[in-house]
Amino acid sequence: MSSIINSDYLVIGSGIAGLSFALKVADHGSVNIISKRVAGEANTSYAQGGIASVTTDTDSIQKHIDDTLIAGAGLCHHDAVESALSNAPERIRDLVEWGVNFTRTDNGSFDLAREGGHSEYRVLHAADMTGAEIERALLEKARQHRNINIYENHLAIDIITEHQVLGNLQSAFNICFGAYVLSEKDNVVVPFQASYTVIATGGASRVFLHSTNPEIATGDGVAMAYRAGVRIANMEFVQFHPTSLYNPGKRSFLISEALRGFGGLLINGDHERFMPKYDARAELAPRDIVARGIDAEMKKRREDCVFLDMRHLDSAEVTSRFPNIYQHCKDALQIDISKDLIPVVPAAHYFCGGIMTSLNGQTSMQNLYALGEAAHTGLHGANRLASNSLMEGLAFSHNAAMKVINKRPRNFGSVIIPDWDESGIVDEKEWVLTRHNLKEIQNIMWGYVGIVRSKKQLNRAKRRVHVIYQEIEDYYKKSKISGDLVELRNLAAIAFLIITSALRRNESRGLHHMTDYPDKSDKYLKDTII
């Protein structure tokens, strides 16, 4: 029998959203943070470019709002955009107070970059490792707080609802009580009970064959919420980053949009600059447009990649501004980014959809909150403006913290959380076959549900994914739990959600581009809710 681990707040995920929430509430109660791998191995750590906020007199909140609305292609929730961006300067002050060291100019002001879709220089950065610096500072603060406990190598399996608990069910309808969590070191499942549970598990881009995300990005939080009947929205809007390093056989490496903001140009195999023919903003158009431009150029010319050209820029400035990218390209392909062309291709990068929330992170289930990339707040609409993601995690985590600090948890009396049923068999031969489903899902999603889609492709993907989904569920029900099996099950659910959502939107808008429905339609000026 496993002991229940209790706390006032349970945070599933250790990126910017989960850690900033934990730091805000820790003075008001006990916090348990579940980290799937070692704390710090989060999507946040891989964010290179920066975090967007107005910090100068030449810029304005309204300009930032307008840029976000334009990029979002008509689907942004205006209240979410205004809430996040009007408070962004204050959230930057939070980061500075927590010890984040942003790159500054000689006079001490923030060194600001400009990225695609932004009308002003407003992206704060820490060289080209902004996410890693933010993660370092927040994690250091969290480890020092007496009310915060971090459980590393713990994977949440499912949230606990009235379907699992025993006892006082009438007063416990549609309420989250915590989560069942797998300790991968001990290979046991432990119930974590809490007054408030926060899903901050990041995105799900590993559902595609090529992704800039680390291997942890398997959509665990969204899949758990979906299985519990929580509302999910806009899963068809998957952002493909236009430029990941083309290095076949190796894991994708992000070539930050900041390089284009710095003056980098996209050229094809004949060294022709091509983005101006796709959009007047050329390399600084929103990401959906640049990704489609690259995709179209590659298909038209039957080339495996395009190139980012930094050779016309000052060599010393390029290498000092992007030291991490410079070193990686040098090590991986013996490329000097200041002197050589950088081969790039689009790769799955970010989910604009997720668990539907209010402005304070509340989901459609009581006592369950969702933050960061796992959430759908309405900020991004149909396409995320560059460097708004880290700010989204900060802004809505603050809102959620302020909400729960002032809210008394309900007393559930005789509710009893049973132990996890660990019965099951381990069939190694069948597991080898089942595990092959991972690559099949990734290939299907990349081939049929990628940057450009069609009704025929989506229906083909739906049929194939449905069979795989059932195979995995059947195996899951009769097998002993493991981390790999949990992630595979979650990715199958994510694939289903993306395809189902995409089939409901017969138009092209933002990140969802349909060859048989090439235009926008006012009929679809609404969220796709499952």
| Catalytic residue numbers, as ranges | 287
Distances in Å between the Cα of 481 and the Cα atoms of 156, 157, 340, 423, 486 are 12, 9, 48, 9, 7
Q: What is the rounded CA–CA span in Å between residue 413 and residue 435?
A: 42
Distances in Å between the Cα of 155 and the Cα atoms of 136, 261, 284, 396 are 21, 37, 38, 24
Please report the DSSP string for 258-287 in residue order: HHHHTT-EEE-TTS-B-GGGT-TTGGGS-H
| 8 A C-beta contact, residue 236 and residue 501 | yes
Which residue has 């799937």 as its token pair?
Answer: 36
Phi, psi for 175 (deg, rounded to 5)? -130, 140
Q: What is the rounded CA–CA span in Å between residue 501 and residue 233?
A: 8
Please report the DSSP string for 458-500 in residue order: HHHHHHHHHHHHHHHHHHHHTB---HHHHHHHHHHHHHHHHHH
The amino acid sitting at 131 is: G
**Is residue 280 exposed (0-12), middle (13-18) or buried (19+ Cβ within 10 Å)?**
exposed
Q: What is the rounded CA–CA span in Å between residue 505 and residue 339?
A: 44
Q: What is the rounded CA–CA span in Å between residue 240 and residue 315?
A: 28
Q: Tell me the residue length of the chain.
A: 530
For the chain, the C-alpha Rg in angstroms (whole number) is 22
Q: What is the rounded CA–CA span in Å between residue 240 and residue 250?
A: 18
